Amino acid sequence: MVFPASRLSRVILIALAFILSTPAAFAQLFPVCSWPFESNGRGLTNVATPDTHATYWIMPFDTASGSMVIHGMYPSARFFNFTSYTETGQVLDSVADSKIAPDTGSTNSFATPGAKPYGAYTLTIGAGTGGSSNRLSAGGTRIAFVVYRLYLPDMGLDNKGGVPLPTISLVASNGTVRELRPCPFADAETSLVNLVALLNLNGFGQAANFLQQILLLANQRGINTGLCNPAQPGPTAVTFAQLPAGGFFPNPQTTYWQTPGLCFQPGKILVIRGKASVFPNTYTGGSVFDPAFDGSIQLRYWSLCNNDNVAPYPVIACQADFETNRGADQFYTYVISNDQAPPAWLPVSATWLPWGGAALPKTLIFRATSEDNSQLS
């Protein structure tokens, strides 16, 4: 659900009134709780071309408070990582699942074939350089965002992959430990408004303004209409170009390829064909070491998503690797059409994506995720 502008203003005022009415000592105790904002690509968070199979949990961190210690369990999912960002969303450091060493007596199912699931790990985040697989740098910034990102939980599991969210403790320079309770907010709108207000209250205006972009984008929904003319000629071929690093909390382990804006052409469909990279067969219970088909695993995850190419840039639909049909030669064919459901004429070997509203231009984004911090060539 997206707030109309008038309602959004009332919610912001209510959140500010609540925070400002608390004792000053409590208001300055920052952060108040762990993982205050969840982005899952639905409702308010369907902005900035999300992938429908990914969930982000966002945590602000005041590096002046000391260090942040995260205790978690390896989920049953395709991929997860922790990434630190500046207050304006630029990547500082990142560590992927297979690089996170387990606690003593536990195993990492993303690093060791046959390892028992749900092992435990501990990750420390602080200023300066990382220096080890279980230490994430927050750079030299005063305020950083830490994002816990998870792709494609196993079938039947929730978006956390069958484990609780990691716990967070703050360790001061004198050794004092403060364990944060989980944030109680149940919906994205309330969570984001409260977080923006709390950042502003503690003097982190630039970080607040960065997150405020989500609210600003969400409130542009429905403003842009009629940008495509059905009579204008369409391209004879569709090309993908690799996106530079940037955007809203980009994933350092993912490379993004995107088409230019495409307008619907009556009586025509869009067809995308390519060779499938080998991915792990985790969705039905396999491990990240089990290839979905013959060959060595080439990518941890890939998907194709169709999105509106105007603000707030919502996703229309995604098809991930495991739900993409492949032929005997392991080539795939995507068909994007302006039907309300997969059409009867769709070949059995093809995978369908809806076009969405015909009045707005669309852009296709292909994501390819590996375990490395450098983008794929």
- All domains of the chain in start order, with CATH: 5-218 (2.60.40.1610), 241-369 (no CATH)
Cis amide bond preceding 312, omega within 30: yes
Whole-prediction pTM: 0.89
Query: What are the structure tokens assigned to 246, written together?
Result: 């940037």
CB 261 within 8 A of CB 309: yes
Q: Which residue has the higher pLDDT, 374 or 75?
A: 75
Mean pLDDT computed over every residue of the chain? 89
- Per-residue pLDDT of 208-253, as tens digits, reads 999 999 888 888 877 777 789 877 777 778 899 998 866 789 999 9
Query: Among 164, 89, 172, 100, which residue's Cα sits nearest to residue 130?
Result: 100
Angle subtended at Cα 116 by Cα 113 and Cα 121, rounded to the nearest 5 degrees? 100
pLDDT at 360 over 80: yes
pLDDT digits (tens, 9 = 90+) for 316-342: 999 999 999 999 999 999 999 999 999
Confidence category of residue 62, pLDDT binned at 50, 70, 90: very high
Q: CA-CA distance, 355 to 340, in Å (whole number)? A: 9
From the number of C-beta atoms within 10 Å of its C-beta (0-12, 13-18, 19+), residue 18 rates as: exposed
Whether residue 11 contacts residue 154, with contact meaning beta carbons closer than 8 Å, is answered with: no
Residue 12 predicted with pLDDT over 60: no
pLDDT of residue 374: 53
For 31, 96, 172, 224, 332, the CA distances from 133, given in Å and listed in that order, are 25, 9, 22, 45, 36
* Buried-exposed string 208-241: b where 16+ CB fall within 10 A, e elsewhere: bebbbebbebbbebeeeeeebeeeeeeeeeeebe
More confident residue, 17 or 118: 118
